[in-house]
Structure 1
Amino acid sequence: MTGEQIIHSIKQGESETVEFKQSFSKAVFETIVAFSNNKGGKLFIGVDNNGNVIGITPTEETIQKWLNEIKQNTEPSIIPDVEIVSINNKKVLIVSVNEFPVKPVSYKDRYFIRKVNSNHKLSADEIAELRFVSLNYSFDAFEVETTFDELDQNAIHTFQKKIENSGRYRSSGDIENDFRKLGFIKNGNLTRACELLFGNHHTNIHMGRFKSQTTIIDDLMIRSPLIIAVEEALDFIKKNIRLGFEFGSDGLQRTERWQYPIPALRELLLNAIVHRDYSNPTDVIVKIFDDSIEITNPGKLMGGLKVEDLYSDNYISRHRNKLTTEAFYLTGDIEKYGTGFKRLREWFSAYSDLIFKVVDLNGFMQVKLSSKSNVPVNDPVNDPVNDPVNDPVNDPVNKRQKRIVKLITENKHITREILAEECNISVETIKRDIRKLRKLNIIKRIGSSKSGHWEIIKNETK
């Protein structure tokens, strides 16, 4: 650095890559480790916290002693570059630290990282995550004991249809072989990603429709394989938000307008699932209010990314769960190039009455959509799909449920999976519809779930 550059850097004050110290102390070690675990930086010894040059008087032997102490007290050992410069006839030691390629670096078994203009001690989870990122590894790549035969065949079938339609992967015709090629099966064992996407993974998406902060009027816990869980969650949201209609300038052409753009909701659900921290047992939580919706997932932003970066188009996307991300990329549900928030802004551009906000909740991320006023975005439509509590009394079943009755009438042995495919919805939604139809005494099951059949008690298809 030239003299002018040094003076300019000091005048700019402490930052993510600049730190001032009056003298050599243990705090110097913490800063060197924090710089190594982040983007690197420069430490000015002989400058106080206000940027005043007070100077130091080290000898060559002293500087060499400091370098040895840094090397001995850091793991892996850090050997920074040092330079003595003279500013206003006072000596300042500049310690230049590069980002270390294999993280995390520690000082006496303590780990720090640079955030804004200070050093932050890392938690055990943060240490593990930093190590995964450094080694180009991810939590969902761990091997599990679940077997291939235990996977949900409907989820696998859905995945096969989606990758065929997206054209992003050419199947070999042997899905188990495809899973090995994609890394979902490793060393003959399923990975955590495979279990999450297609199996029984014991993680949940908890959905709730609230009339107030304390009053719940509808509730659903989704435990399905992730490859189909997104659509189930979206079905619940669509059931509990408003749907209106807009008319063209001629007053004749009518188009649907949901309270929120549906593609944006799908993108936000996918973000919550793909980027969540699966080492944290907390559920992804979706709260739907009259005029707002919140989606919260465990897991913070990766790689030093900040919330304000998401509102720009100039950031690098980092993936906590690389295999899970790859699966949803292959199905065409997401892109892997950090374009998600750009697309969100495009979808929201047609909804000027909405506020879109991202909040960092210290280990959790939350996105919130809300109306700028308490005035409804659109008048609710008298359609059961939009009633958050119950179907209207004069119409006990909606159109989809009538279609289910019709399909059962045509084939009394029809399965839930085929019903889901015919109605273009998830199996879980079909199960809820069937429970309702049975409760209303419209259909009943004769015999077992495998060898039995459906019987229509009263026909509600008209």
Structure 2
Amino acid sequence: MNEKEFEKLLQERENKDLDFKLELPESKKVAKLVVAFYNTRGGKIVLGVEGETRGPVGLKDPQRTEERFVQSIQYWCELDEAPEIEFVKYDSKEFIIVHCPKGKDTPYFVREEYTPRVRIGSSSMPANKEEIGRLYREGSSKSQDVYPVENATLGDIDLKAIENYLKKSKLTKKLDKNYINELMLKEHFVALENGKLVPTIAGILLFGKNTYLDMHHSEVKADRYVGDTRVEWLDRRDLRGTLFDIIKQAEEFFLRNMRTPAKVVGFKTEVRTEYPIDALREAIINALVHRDWHNQETILIRMYNSFVEILSPGELLSPITIEKIKRNDYTPKTRNKIIAGVFNNLKIMDKRGTGFLRIREDME
């Protein structure tokens, strides 16, 4: 990091991804901070900077500070990947930046503690029950959409829709009832629980008869605002149904709320949408397929006069970061392998991770 980049970092306030320390805290406190970053989404610890004022004081002995830091985390926690330690010179003073990645094998613990820690705002706190569940799911190789949906029954699945999918995807030509049940189990649309077949998250989201009743957070809230603030709105819709239904409704919402200038070229009238509809469609598909379905919040679509936001619950999966996505330097990962597989089989999306690249190309 050069001096200009460090100066820009000093202008930020402490947050979920950033912590300033004037000097290295005692060893167990260091471990708590590092573990919290690993269990959340990674982040930076800047040593030699006063926390509240962000004044760049510097370290008296950065080499000794680095040694003490390494000894602390080696004793107090087990990490599958060591943090990167960077020495920075700024204004004739020396600092250390500790780059903590988002951990791949969550949860991580501090020695002698039995509750993992997470980053909440600018604090490192013990994880609650829901966060602990998330950490174990993300640290597992198991797809997160294969878990049963609470209180859902086999009758909540549209078997005709599954038959149509099996025909379209050419997975089988054999469609008798017993074999379909066996295939649904194999494809993880249902799971065996207490001797009964029950729908999974993937099964309800893809083929539910009334998806919203079984999973209220499956709806997408879409708003078109006046101007560039969320004060007044022109249009509001709650998009509900299977993921396929929601994609169609979202596309209709976008088209209804976009300016569509037209011009005559030769003998034809060419109509252009304000935003490339393919880019918006790709973005909403990405949000639906890759979001954290264990999080009870809904996806939000916000259209303003000069930009569009799509907010999707859940963090990026390690080792994917925003910076890597911007550089198109990442290997695609999904927490919902079953949903992604169905979308790929139906040629709705590509599992090779080209979605963001196509969005950027469409927007140029």
TM range (shorter): 0.5 to 0.7
Distance 1:319 1:70, change over 3 A: same
* Structure-2 residue corresponding to 1:180: 185
| Residues 103 and 318 in structure 2, CA contact (< 8 A), matched pair in contact too | no
Aligned ranges 1:380-419 → 2 under 5 Å: none
Deviates further, 28-37 or 200-209: 28-37
2:107–2:116 Cα contact (<8 Å) kept = no
- Which residue in 2 is equivalent to 1:139? 144
TM-score by length of 2: 0.65
- Mark the runs of 5 or more structure 1 residues left unpaired by the alignment: 1-14, 57-65, 82-96, 165-169, 350-462
What is the distance in 1 between the residues matched to 2:39 and 2:247? Answer: 35
Aligned residue number for residue 262 of structure 2: 245
Q: Which residue of 2 aligns with 1:407?
A: none
2:203 to 173, 183, 194: 194
Residue of structure 2 equivalent to 1:345: 360
Max Rg structure: 1
Output the amino acid matched with 1:220.
R
1:60-71 aligned at under 5 Å gives the runs none
2:32 equivalent among 30, 33, 42: 30
Task: Report what 2:87 is aligned to.
Answer: none
Contact 2:104 2:319 (C-alpha < 8 Å) held by counterparts = no
Deviation at 1:344, TM superposition (A): 0.8
Superposed displacement of residue 346, structure 1: 1.4
Specify which of 262, 265, 270 is matched with residue 285 of structure 2: 270
2:235 equivalent in structure 1: 218
Partner of 1:327: 342
C-alpha spacing 1:247/1:160, structure 2 compared with 1 (3 Å):
farther
Residues 33 and 124 of structure 2 are in contact (CA less than 8 Å); yes or no, is this contact kept in structure 1?
no
Deviation at 1:330, TM superposition (A): 1.8
Structure 2: unaligned runs, 5 residues or longer: 1-16, 50-57, 65-70, 83-99, 213-217
Measured against aligned partners, the alpha-carbon deviations of 1:210-263 in whole angstroms (never above 9, x if no partner) come to 335333333322220113221122122222223333444xx2344332222121
User: Against the structure 1 CA distance between its residues 337 and 128, is the aligned structure 2 distance closer, same or farther, given a 3 Å change threshold?
Assistant: farther
| Separation (CA, whole Å) in 2 of partners of 1:233 and 1:70 | 49
Match of 2:155 in 1: 149
Identity of aligned residues (%): 26
Deviation per CA, 1:335-357: give whole Å up to 9, x if none. 222211111111112xxxxxxxx
Give me the TM-score of the superposition, normalised by structure 1: 0.53
Conserved 8 A contact 2:206-2:339: yes
Matched ranges for 1:226-375 at <5 A: 226-248=243-265, 251-349=266-364
Moved more, 281-290 or 120-129: 120-129
Kept in 2, the 8 Å contact 1:106–1:112? The answer is no
How far does residue 70 in structure 1 lie from its aligned partner after superposition? 6.4
The equivalent residue for 1:53 is 61
User: What's the Cα RMSD here?
Assistant: 4.5
- How many residues align structurally? 300
C-alpha contact (below 8 Å) 2:324/2:330 kept by paired residues: yes
Distance in 1 (CA, whole Å) between partners of 2:309 and 2:116 is: 36
User: Are the equivalent residues in 2 in contact too, given 1:22–1:54 (CA < 8 A)?
Assistant: no
Distance 2:239 2:39 in 1: 38
Structure 1 CA distance for aligned equivalents of residues 254 and 291 of structure 2: 20
Query: Does the 8 Å CA contact 1:139/1:321 hold for their aligned counterparts?
Result: yes
1:227 partner amino acid: F
Q: Is the 8 A contact 1:163 1:332 kept in 2?
A: no
Q: Following TM superposition, by how much is the alpha carbon of 1:270 offset from its aligned partner in structure 2, in angstroms? A: 0.7
1:101 Cα offset (Å): 7.0
- Return closer, same or farther for 1:272/1:35 CA change in 2, 3 Å cut-off: closer
Letter in 2 for 1:183: H
The answer as to whether partners of 2:32 and 2:124 remain within 8 angstroms in 1 is no
Give per-residue Cα distances to partners, 1:89-124, cap 9 Å, x unaligned. xxxxxxxx99987421212234257x9xx9955744
